[in-house]
Amino acid sequence: MNRFTYERHIPVKRFGQNFLKNKTIINTIIQKMHLKTIDSVIEIGPGLGALTFPICNIVEKITVLEIDENIIFLLLKSKYYKHVKMILTDVIKFDFHYFFSLNTSILYRLIGNLPYNIATCLLINLIQYNVYIFDMHFMFQKEVAHRLLAIPGNKKYGKLSVLAQYFYKIIPVLDVDRYNFFPAPKVDSVFLRFIPYNKFNQNKINRYFFALEQITRMAFQHRRKFLINNLSKLFSEKTLLKFNINPFLRAEDVSIHQYYLLAKNFLKLYV
Ligand code: SAM
């Protein structure tokens, strides 16, 4: 292996190709997913198969979504090719709605060592498909993982924390430092598990996603300002007090439950 090639492939920077190379980390990740033979797994960005191939040893079939045609070509040449349904696509543009509607009785298990530039956007996109998802395991750069896990009062608690934690139970699975990848990225990572809350039907997901998106965007626009100022266009002081929310709190001190109450009220008032 020289500086540029890895398993006969030159990693493409714009596709965030930092391949997992540490077998112990890979095995731990697979173990912690508790996969079963009958699981329907979708992997986003299989790369050179670091996770795909060990998963093939457990499940009957895995679907992979990959943007790089050279990678698809290499996967086609692997001994696992018959176990892997390969879809050449940009996952951000992929029609998940169509894909999931092909068999609505399946609850999918998603996995991905995601490229950093699309990770949060993809996670937020996937909220709307939660009814089709059993769980998801994704690698995030540490800073983003901390924002996803942040609790009220923490500087990292923001719009992303509220949206993600409202729709998913998020569990940190494993810290993965940068030297476990080739090439090594500039930052460390954390592997997270996301379990969609099953209390939501599709209609509720769409409505609450819309409401929370609007409210958190305004609430966190000026972090140092009080709620009463940031949310003045949506809620009066009286409404905030009605929900036991102190109007002179800052957005970062409002709990997920309080955001839920605001979203419920927003939907009553405006939608
Ligand atoms: N899973 C492999 C591993 O752990 O070694 C590769 C992970 S690498 C960080 C990210 C993978 O996602 C690459 O295979 C890359 O080509 C693919 N990828 C990047 N952007 C993508 C996109 N928009 N849609 C689908 N795949 C993408």
Residue 191 Cβ < 6 Å to ligand 1: no
- Ligand 1 centroid to Cα of residue 204, in Å, is 31
Residue 92 Cβ < 6 Å to ligand 1: yes
Model confidence pLDDT, tens digit, residues 40-87 = 999 999 999 999 999 999 999 899 999 999 999 999 999 999 999 999
Model confidence pLDDT, tens digit, residues 115-131 = 999 999 999 999 999 99
The predicted structure's pLDDT at residue 222 = 94
pLDDT confidence of 5, banded at 50, 70, 90?
low
The predicted structure's pLDDT at residue 3 = 47
Contacts 24+ apart (CB under 8 A), 247-255: 250/223, 250/224, 250/225, 250/226, 251/158, 251/216, 251/219, 251/220, 251/223, 251/227, 252/152, 252/153, 252/154, 252/155, 252/157, 252/158, 252/220, 252/223, 253/152, 253/153, 254/152, 254/219, 254/227, 255/152
Q: Which residues are part of a known binding site for S-adenosyl-L-methionine? A: 18, 20, 45, 66, 90, 113
Domains and CATH numbers, the chain: 3-196 (3.40.50.150), 202-270 (1.10.8.100)
The predicted structure's pLDDT at residue 8 = 78
Average pLDDT over residues 26-48: 97
Looking at ligand 1, which atom is closest to the CA of residue 47? 14
Model confidence pLDDT, tens digit, residues 147-183 = 999 999 999 999 999 999 999 999 999 999 999 999 9
Q: What is the mean pLDDT of the chain?
A: 95
Q: Whose CA is nearest to atom 20 of ligand 1?
A: 15
For CA atoms 219, 217, 166, 113, the dihedral sign is negative
Residue 196 Cβ < 6 Å to ligand 1: no
pLDDT confidence of 204, banded at 50, 70, 90?
very high
Q: Which residues are part of a known binding site? A: 18, 20, 45, 66, 90, 113
Model confidence pLDDT, tens digit, residues 208-260 = 999 999 999 999 999 999 999 999 999 999 999 998 999 999 999 999 999 99
Q: Whose CA is nearest to atom 22 of ligand 1?
A: 90
- Ligand 1 centroid to Cα of residue 115, in Å, is 6
Average pLDDT over residues 6-13: 85
Looking at ligand 1, which atom is closest to the CA of residue 91? 24
Statement: residue 143 has pLDDT above 70: yes
Residue 19 Cβ < 6 Å to ligand 1: yes
For residue 55, the 8-state DSSP code is H
pLDDT confidence of 4, banded at 50, 70, 90?
low
- Ligand 1 centroid to Cα of residue 65, in Å, is 8
pLDDT confidence of 2, banded at 50, 70, 90?
very low
For the question of whether the overall pTM of this predicted structure is more than 0.75, the answer is yes
The predicted structure's pLDDT at residue 198 = 77
The predicted structure's pLDDT at residue 200 = 83
Q: Whose CA is nearest to atom 8 of ligand 1?
A: 17
The H-assigned helical ranges of the chain are: 23-33, 52-56, 69-76, 96-101, 119-126, 142-149, 159-167, 202-219, 227-230, 237-242, 256-270
